[in-house]
Amino acid sequence: MIEEQKHDTIVVLDFGGQYSHLITRRVRECNVYSELLPYNMPAEKILEKDPKGIILSGGPASVYEKDAPVCDPKVFDLKVPVLGICYGLQLMAHMLGGKVSRARKREFGKTELEILDNSDLFFGINRKKIFCWMSHSDIVETLPQGFETIARTENCPHAAVRSKDRKLFGVQFHPEVVHTEFGKQIIENFVIRICKCRPTWKMENFVDEAIRKIRSVIKDDRAICALSGGVDSSTAAVLVHKAIGDRLVCVFINHGLLRKNEPEEVLKIFRDKLKMNVIYVDASERFLKRLKGVTDPEEKRKIIGEEFIKVFTEVAEKVGRPKWLVQGTLYPDVIESARTESPASRIKTHHNVGGLPPWTPFKILEPLRMLYKDEVRKLARVLGLPEEIVKRHPFPGPGLAVRIIGEVTPEKLRICREASYIVEEELKKAGLYDKVWQAFAIVGDDKAVGILGDQRALGHIVIVRIVTSLDGMTADWARIPYEVLERISNRITNEVEGVTWVAYAISSKPPATIEPC
């Protein structure tokens, strides 16, 4: 019998800031489990998590506004260390008797920080000045009683504060973003030195714990897995297979929106290499028929998600009606669908998040729903998945439908598939594929005049999107060498019929998203 290992936990209360979810990931990089919870969760419920520390995230509101989000005041009396970041610092100061006001001069972006005391939060940083990342319009003007300043900037006199007696800390800047020098060390100082957490959150430990939990949930029932061939669903499938063996049936649905050669590659890996039971369903015509005439991105996602469930239901009828449907849902999927009930708005609807329609016979099992992508890749290696799966770029569940702007037509689908294949192939040849987060082609209805041979031709514009990221929550456009972009452009216009122009997308996330739809 596997003995459960209890991990120390850091709770992050989400006030809706754009970087809120990076905090959770940064804590996990310290090998400490962290969980994102709604800002208004009662202190008694927080205590049920047995946290070693609490972090208050940033947020877009001002603490002095009407209906500004506030946490349970008892959070500051739980006798565990608390770290407030940006809005979290302002809220702490406001609730404990300090004064927060509009800044005379706002600070956004790279800012020089002067460290006044490096005995706790800044321990090990042997410099008096570092650069940090600011994003605020308000400042703490007067500290609550018992607090002292441990860092400042030119325009922010209380850029980092503490109350030693109560183990309360606050920073006006964002240590969770990579632009802040020593940001990871600041978070590690809070988590390890101040909260005294044990660094036991590792994927090697996660495997045994997950298998035990899966077995306890599924018991003697059978499960059916939504297998796409991406690292998320593949890892979920292998993990559940280790837990319940042949009682898992994997279903690979070809919805006609897959990458080039994907069905053949996925079946070869899972049937031949991993020896797993995989049912292949070609439902291309069915999906494309339902998408005919649909142009709205959200509507496309909903149609594809609904059709997926219908197909699974039909397959389940043929294989003995398994009770459980396994999905490779990750933490960012849940977050982007605004499932923490934070003030954050819903960014997009994920086809595999939000529960199942009432008419389905399944109970849903999401063994990876608390993991980030980088953690899933580590887990995949621990489970022995081949590198061609581990290193694959993320691919959305709705497939090429969300990379086609407007209606999904056979012509646009062909162009998107062939052009994306060229993008990936050229990046691999240049040794860049593993250095970027995601790379693909986008096709819409816009056309431009070109010259093919000696003739004037009207063809589609293909937009190439290549981004770098750590977790998909934020992303930047990749600075690909011009000669590689030139080869990509030449090949697409020469080899993909119906394309005359190739453009390169240079919008970051935010304000853009990674996928166009």
- Give the Cβ contact number of residue 72 at 10 Å: 17
Q: Which of 86, 195, 225, 250 is catalytic?
A: 86
Is residue 125 within 8 A of residue 85, CB to CB? The reply is no
Is residue 289 within 8 A of residue 207, CB to CB? The reply is no
The two structure tokens encoding residue 253: 């649905």
Write the single-letter amino acid at 155. Answer: N
Is residue 443 within 8 A of residue 405, CB to CB? The reply is yes
- Is 307 marked active-site? no
What are the distances in angstroms from CA 484 to CA 275, 422, 432? 38, 11, 10
- Is 174 marked active-site? yes
* Residues in Cβ contact with 483 at an 8 Å cutoff, skipping those fewer than 6 apart: none
Is residue 456 within 8 A of residue 489, CB to CB? The reply is no
In three-state secondary structure terms, 382 is helix
- Is 3 marked active-site? no
Q: Which of 7, 174, 255, 460 is catalytic?
A: 174
* Residues in Cβ contact with 29 at an 8 Å cutoff, skipping those fewer than 6 apart: 184
- Give the Cβ contact number of residue 310 at 10 Å: 16
Is residue 249 within 8 A of residue 279, CB to CB? The reply is yes
* Residues in Cβ contact with 338 at an 8 Å cutoff, skipping those fewer than 6 apart: 344, 345, 346, 347
What's the full length of the chain, in residues? Answer: 517
Write the single-letter amino acid at 263. Answer: P
Q: Which of 107, 176, 262, 426 is catalytic?
A: 176
The two structure tokens encoding residue 441: 């082609």
| Beta partners for residue 457, in sequence order | 450
293: left (phi over 0), alpha (psi -120 to 50) or beta: left
Rounded distance between C-alpha atoms, residue 293 and residue 79, angstroms: 59
In three-state secondary structure terms, 414 is helix
The two structure tokens encoding residue 110: 């790279």
Rounded distance between C-alpha atoms, residue 396 and residue 120, angstroms: 42
* Catalytic sites, residue numbers: 86, 174, 176
